[in-house]
């Protein structure tokens, strides 16, 4: 009897604090007016770092054309670097895991920021599906936590969790340039790059516009905001939110230097002689070059980034045969930033 009364008292106390927390938890919808991927990743990171545990945040954001790779990925594998360069498409690395994605102004990004205790990816995805249904679009969630429309992917997802905080973010293809999307993520040289970095899983994709000709970014944003916070009060931020902090997301050492160790292994012929070349890249820097299993004759400096100008610098310092090999490889690759 005493035990039963104690249990009931504990239940009442638990229910009281649950109700208290719900009443005092605040929901905020924050829209970034910046379309710069590096600014938006920094704003997202700042919201996460300074998260108030009594708040749940939905951040809405868009970017000018860019490719965003996951924290543990290799950008030289995941993106078509020459295509990005030729079409003024940026490349960035985010803090969460997962695969590479293409963003442009026809793509809407969502970030759910909350505590680790309240992290629930499925619930967020269900909210997105409910919001889409309210504007006449039926969708479903697959076992990879992608959102599908008629069997095609319209949203990918990734997350970051720490001891007490979390964020879950995802894309939502509304009217993205599918040609750019395909070309930007199609690397023709992946077979010669040997890496253990996380690789993306490719899936057929589609835009919401295919299901609803009158759909717009604004309409989707309003539906999402209304489902997350019914008063639909959207706060606006831009890069000034960062208060002149150094933006670590736009530096080379983060975008390329965080790449896990990998190698380039290629074979080709010069004057009917077969050439095998093996290049090791560590933290984005060239650390060894073997031509037919023999190290090249010059010492590689520690600051030699995996870039075209580095290859040209190395070639100029080599004798004629090895110089020809390096210049030939550079021409064949055409993938170095």
∠ CA 186-87-246, rounded to 5° = 95
Q: For residues 227 and 38, give the distance between their C-alpha atoms in angstroms, rounded to a whole number.
A: 28
- H or E element, residue 306: none
Residue 36 has pLDDT above 90, yes or no: yes
* Arithmetic mean of pLDDT, 13-35: 65
Residue 75 has pLDDT above 90, yes or no: yes
Residue 265 has pLDDT above 80, yes or no: yes
Q: What is the pLDDT of residue 271?
A: 85
Q: For residues 138 and 147, give the distance between their C-alpha atoms in angstroms, rounded to a whole number.
A: 10
Spatial contact of 135 and 223, defined as CB atoms under 8 Å apart: yes
Q: Provide the 8-state DSSP code for 251.
A: S
Confidence label for 120 from pLDDT (cuts 50, 70 and 90):
very high
Q: What is the pLDDT of residue 5?
A: 52
Q: What is the pLDDT of residue 231?
A: 83
The chain-wide mean pLDDT, for the chain, equals 90
Alpha helices by DSSP H, listed for 55-177, are: 75-78, 81-86, 121-134
Largest CA distance in the chain: 94
Q: Which CATH number among 3.30.420.40, 3.40.50.300, 1.10.760.10, 3.30.930.10 corresponds to the domain 2-255?
A: 3.30.930.10
Reduce the DSSP state of residue 290 to 3 states and report it.
Answer: strand
Its pTM stands at: 0.88
Q: Where are the domains of the chain?
A: 2-255, 262-333
Residue 234 has pLDDT above 70, yes or no: yes
- Reading phi first (left if > 0) and then psi (alpha if -120 to 50, else beta), residue 143 is in alpha
Spatial contact of 125 and 141, defined as CB atoms under 8 Å apart: yes
- H or E element, residue 207: none
Residue 335 has pLDDT above 70, yes or no: no
CATH topology of domain 262-333: Enolase-like; domain 1 (3.30.390)
Confidence label for 130 from pLDDT (cuts 50, 70 and 90):
very high
Q: What is the pLDDT of residue 245?
A: 77
């Amino acid at each position: 009897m005493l035990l039963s009364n104690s249990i009931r008292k504990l239940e009442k106390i638990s229910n009281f604090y649950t109700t208290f927390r719900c009443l005092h938890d605040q929901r905020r919808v924050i829209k970034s007016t910046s379309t710069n991927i590096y600014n938006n990743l920094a704003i997202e990171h700042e919201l996460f770092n300074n998260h108030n545990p009594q708040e749940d945040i939905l951040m809405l954001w868009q970017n000018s054309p860019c490719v965003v790779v996951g924290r543990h990925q290799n950008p030289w594998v995941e993106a078509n670097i020459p295509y990005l360069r030729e079409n003024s498409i940026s490349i960035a690395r985010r803090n969460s895991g997962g695969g590479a994605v293409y963003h442009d102004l026809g793509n809407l990004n969502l970030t759910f920021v909350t505590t680790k205790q309240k992290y629930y990816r499925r619930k967020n995805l269900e909210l997105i599906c409910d919001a889409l249904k309210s504007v006449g679009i039926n969708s479903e969630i697959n076992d990879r936590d992608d959102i599908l429309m008629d069997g095609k992917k319209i949203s990918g997802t990734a997350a970051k969790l720490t001891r007490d905080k979390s964020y879950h973010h995802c894309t939502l293809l509304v009217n993205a340039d599918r040609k750019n999307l395909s070309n930007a993520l199609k690397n023709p040289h992946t077979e010669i790059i040997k890496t253990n970095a996380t690789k993306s899983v490719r899936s057929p994709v589609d835009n919401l516009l295919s299901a609803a000709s009158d759909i717009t970014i604004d309409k989707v944003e309003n539906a999402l905001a209304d489902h997350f916070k019914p008063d639909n009060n959207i706060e606006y931020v831009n890069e000034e939110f960062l208060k002149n902090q150094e933006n670590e997301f736009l530096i080379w050492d983060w975008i390329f230097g965080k790449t896990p160790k990998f190698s380039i292994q290629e074979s080709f012929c010069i004057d009917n002689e077969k050439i095998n070349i093996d290049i090791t890249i560590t933290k984005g820097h060239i650390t060894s070059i073997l031509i037919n299993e023999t190290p090249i004759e010059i010492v590689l400096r520690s600051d030699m980034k995996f870039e075209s100008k580095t290859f040209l610098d190395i070639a100029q310092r080599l004798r004629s045969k090895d110089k020809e090999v390096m210049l030939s490889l550079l021409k064949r690759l055409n993938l170095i930033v």
